[in-house]
Amino acid sequence: MASSSLSLFFLFSLLSPILIASSPVQDPELVVQEVHRSINESRRNLGYLSCGSGNPIDDCWRCDANWEKNRQSLADCAIGFGKNAIGGKNGKIYVVTDSSDDDVVNPKPGTLRYAVIQDEPLWIIFARDMVIKLKEELIMNSFKTIDGRGASVHIAGGPCITIQYVTNIIIHGLNIHDCKQGGNTNVRDSPSHYGFRTISDGDGVSIFGGSHIWVDHCSLSNCHDGLIDAIHGSTAITISNNYMTHHDKVMLLGHSDSYTQDKNMQVTIAFNHFGEGLVQRMPRCRHGYFHVVNNDYTHWEMYAIGGSADPTINSQGNRFLAPNDRSSKEVRPHLLTFFFLFFIFFFEFLKPISKFSLH
C-alpha cells in the first residue's frame, strides 16, 4: 500500500509541471519575472551573438539561419501569459495555394479557410504573396498556426479572424487591415459542423472565450471595430511585436464592467509599436491582469492605456511620445477639472440672484 502511494506521488510529481504549464490561469508575478529573465538574457547575449537584438522572441528564431526548415520551432519562442500556445506544432505543414474564399460552408482544399477549420493540428504557410478577401469571418479551430513568414500575406477588405472557444492558436506575420462586418449567414467552423452567424463586430482579430493565444509580428490597421479584442473569459494571451496604425479603438481586453468572468483574463502586451493615427485603447483593460512591457507609443489622440472594473495593469519599460496636446500628456485629462470649475462658477454666480428672488 505504501509502495502504491509512493508510486502515485512520484507520478503526480512528474505530471504537475505539465498540468501547471497547461493551466489557463497562472501566477502573474511568476510570469512577469520570467518575462524579465528572458529579456535580460537576450540583452546579455548582445555582446556575443551577432544576430542578437535584445528581443527574446526574435532572437529565439531569427538566429536560426535555417528557420524556414524549422518553422515549428517558433512555437517555443513566445513569452508571457501566452507562452504555452503551441499552435499547430507537431502537426502537418499545410500550404495555402488559393487566395479565394468563394464558399464559406464548403471551402476548397488549398484555401486558408479549409485549413483553419480542420480538427487536427496544422502549421499553415503560404505558397506566395497573396491578398485574401474573406467573404465571412475566418472561424478557427484549435491547434492552428498561421505563419506568414516568407510571403507578404494580406487579409483585408472583408471580415477577418475569429478565435471563438478554441485553444492553442498562433498568428504570425500577417497584414490585417480594412476589416469589415459580416454575418447573417452560415459559416463552417469544423469539418463536421457549420452554423448561422449573426453580425460580427468587424475586428481584425476577435478572441472570444479563447485560451493560449499568441499574436505576433502582425501589421494591423483600419478595422470596423477593434484591431485585437479579447472578451468573454479569454485568457493566457500574448500580443507581441505588432505594428498598429490608423485606428480608433485599438485593443479591448474585457467585455464589460459587469462581465465578471473576465477576472481570470491574463494578457501580455510586449514589444508592440503603437504608431500614427491611433486614438484610444492601447489597451483598454477590465477585471484581469495585464502586463504591458517594452512597447513603443508614438501617437494617440485620446489616451494610450486605460482600465476599469479593478484591473491590474503592470506597465513597465514602455516609451511614450505624447502628441503636442496638453490633455494627452496626463494620466487623466483636464475635462473633469473643467466641469468642476464650471459648476463652482455657475453656482457662485447664481447665489446673489437666488437671494434676490427670495426677497
User: What is the C-alpha to C-alpha distance for residues 104 and 22, in angstroms, rounded to an integer?
Assistant: 32
Name the residues annotated as catalytic. 281
The CA–CA distances, whole Å, from 178 to 83, 116, 203, 286, 299 equal: 29, 21, 9, 26, 20
Give the number of other Cβ atoms within 10 Å of residue 195's Cβ. 11
Peptide bond into 28 cis (omega under 30): no
Question: Following DSSP, what letter does each residue of 63-119 receive, concatenated?
Answer: T-TTGGGGGGGGGG---GGGTT--TTTTSEEEEE-B-----SSSPPTTBHHHHHT-S
Strand order in the sheet with 319-320: 130-132, 153-156, 175-177, 219-221, 243-245, 273-274, 296-297, 319-320
User: What is the C-alpha to C-alpha distance for residues 41 and 46, in angstroms, rounded to an integer?
Assistant: 9
